[in-house]
Amino acid sequence: MMKRHLFLLGAISLIVPIAIAQPELPKLTMGESAIAQMPPCPPPHHLRGMESGNLPEPPWAKNLNLSNEQRSRIQAIHQQSIKGIEEVQKQLLAADNQMRSLLESSVPLEQLRQQHQQIQRLRQQLDNNHFEMMLAEREVLTPEQLMELKQLMQQSSRPCPNFKPQ
């Protein structure tokens, strides 16, 4: 019985000072610092180079023998949608920069999680905006043009060379 009490007293004397001590927030390690300094992720491949001044219509539109009216409608849809996409891209870039600043500081983990959720929401919004643009542009096409577009997409879809399934 005495050994048991001595063991408990010894364990308590070791644990209590550790529990009472105020934990100091850890400094960033070299790896964490490198993560915080990484450049922002580029936009998805389907959104690259789609600034409103750069691309008056989607690249696939050139190959579908569009009428002038169709071309005009698709260009209008595309240009209007790109403005919304660019706005979300700016917000995403700002949120990404904010995350880098937070990673370099000693903020609570919950704040990092909240910032990550904000970035995820913006990425989802960007994807939704692109999807809605695609649906609106698709509505302009005839059934024959949709079939041609399907064939073009099948020809151009190749697996990502860097993709390695686990």
Q: Is residue 5 part of a domain?
A: no
- Number of domains forming the structure of the chain: 1
| Whole-number pLDDT of residue 130 | 94
State the Cα–Cα distance between residues 78 and 86, nearest whole angstrom: 12
Q: Is residue 49 part of a domain?
A: no
13-34 pLDDT, tens digit each: 555 444 444 444 445 554 455 5
25 versus 1: which is more confidently predicted? Answer: 1
- In which domain, by residue range, is 75 found? 68-157
Sign of the CA dihedral running 42, 45, 48, 52: negative
Q: Is residue 44 part of a domain?
A: no
Q: Is residue 77 part of a domain?
A: yes
In 3D space, the residue among 89, 61, 65, 92 whose CA is nearest the CA of residue 76 turns out to be: 61
66-113 pLDDT, tens digit each: 999 999 999 999 999 999 999 999 999 999 999 999 999 999 999 999
Q: Is residue 84 part of a domain?
A: yes
Q: How confident is residue 4, by pLDDT bands cut at 50, 70 and 90?
A: low
Average pLDDT value for the chain: 76
| Whole-number pLDDT of residue 62 | 83
First vs last C-alpha separation in the chain: 55
In 3D space, the residue among 122, 135, 119 whose CA is nearest the CA of residue 58 turns out to be: 135
Q: Is residue 50 part of a domain?
A: no
